[in-house]
Structure 1
Amino acid sequence: MANVLVLGGTAWLGREVAREAVARGHDVTCLARGESGEVAEGARLVSADRDDPRAYDDLTGARWDAVVDVTRQPGHARGAVLTLGAQAEHWTLVSTGNVYADLAHPMAEDDALRDPLADDHASPELYGEGKVACEEAVGALANHLILRSGLLGGPGDPSDRAGYWVARFAMAGDEPVLVPDLPDADVQLLDVRDLATFVVDAALRGVSGVMNAAGLSHPLTEFLSVSADVAGHTGVSIGAAADWLVEHDVEPWMGPRSLPLWLPDEALGMAAMDTSRAAAAGLTRRPLVETLADTLLDEQARGLDRERKAGLTRDDELALLAAL
């Protein structure tokens, strides 16, 4: 039985990592404020604010077979490495594809990165620079794994991006759905549960290095078709050109009044991440249809017509369809 520490553990990915480690019979501790939810059943919560210099006081003295950190704040990464680094056999940081300097083209691990953020706190606008700084902190450890994640999906997605389409097709029923007309666009969606499985497995095997962790590439048209099939949608999908959508104040990718997973030109590389290193190290990815089916169940449980963080409201969508 391994002693696993998850720095985080009450939000989406961290909770999935803790759940996976518990399911394998390991002793799991999660350090978090506890404001994002509960830890996975069977894990122990150590409640602490990582902005507090004493946050790790209750963890010093213990030995950790694996530490997993999901932070985006450089100060958190630096403080944890400084305080606990010598007590850890292996350290995993879940980073992001946003660390790359060029997001417009296919991305591989040896590509140039953004400049690291010197400050301890990264604003949302400096997310990539903050993660580069986190990578630098963890990279000082002898046995570390940095996983640069692409788009995550699956049940529980707090961003509301990856579940938008299957939920919208289910809500529409036999009525039309507005989709972006992008025949050459791709999607790389990695099920959060597959990433969590890989994180735990790789950490306990001592896998080290830097790896992109993203889903298999699918044409956006295929992603939308599978979403419609899973949802039982019997209506039509009506495409709108990207220029027309922009003219009508529809945003790409995420956020309010958006069409999620439509990538702007300057970020097309987020659907073209080279994942050969991670695949060789054991990353496996379940079929897209399975992820979308489980996502639909989660969306239905949370309410298909709930207020979302990403996507169009149904009223806005119908108004746009009428204007086409």
Structure 2
Amino acid sequence: MMLWKEMPMEIGNGTTVQEFTLEGFPALQHLGKVLFLVHLLAYLASITGNAVIVTITCANSRLQTPMYFFLSTFSFFECCFISAVIPKLLVIFLLGRQTISFLACFIQAFVYVYLGATGFFLITVMSVDRYMAICQPLHYPTIMNLKTCFLLVTACCVLAFLLITGLIVKVSQLSFCGPNVIPHFFCDLGSLIHLSCSNTRFVEMLAFVIALFIILTSLIITIIAYSNIVVTIVRLPSAKERQKAFSTCSSHFIVLSLIYSSCVFIYVKPKQTNRLDSNREAALVHTVVTPLLNPVIYTLRNKQVHQALRETMCRMKISRQK
């Protein structure tokens, strides 16, 4: 594909920019090995937690419902999302290797933004699923069947691909003829745009509009869905029913708050140059902390997941004894 063809960028003395340098966290370079260990443990815990959700959803028939299908799909994308960034960050902390090739940088930027956008669309679908289950319980089994679930996930992936591919193509067509140090711990798209010596006004506005569309569309649909959910729950006659309905939505709502707050701070700003220094910490929360908390939040108060885990562990114990 022409998108990923490594394009030499001519600079003033005729040399070519073929790699970028990821600045990482220069103020904390003396703590490299400690930070490596901390982030490695967080990465492994996040991968393990999300992988457990995917595994028990596939292995346990009780969890093979639309809600857990979307949750396991979201967990799978979370594993891919953090794997696009954290391994390179670990290399920076442990070995100090901060360089990344031009091609690898744009691939990382594409994968990171694409998976992030897909995650937002999946969150929206999960909100709609909860709305259908609580507000339209009679129609829910017929509407949210397996075919519909697959179509919705496919639509999320395709829509994110179309939006992000166009943006990445535009950024890859910019000229890079100055400094090649990215003030971030990964190839952040905003930082790449800032390094270009081309007129970036159109690309900055395009990135802002796409980010605004993805985040606000997801947020508005989610707010509408949960507003109807709250109204429906409040009208339930039984306190036990209200508590059960709220418990199925509270975990999702907490995860939504974490993701939206960090992403609005990072991406929904029209001028990229004003946000480079403050984004690293927020991006670290969004990339490391949130995927780590997701499995904990979704499973901590979920009795069905607890039961499925116990059953899976019992089956594993029995199989070992045999």
Using the size of structure 1 for normalisation, the TM-score is: 0.31
Structure of greater Rg:
2
**Higher strand share goes to which structure?**
1
Structure number with the bigger relative contact order (C-alpha 8 A, sep ≥ 6) is 2
**Higher helix share goes to which structure?**
2
Using the size of structure 2 for normalisation, the TM-score is: 0.31
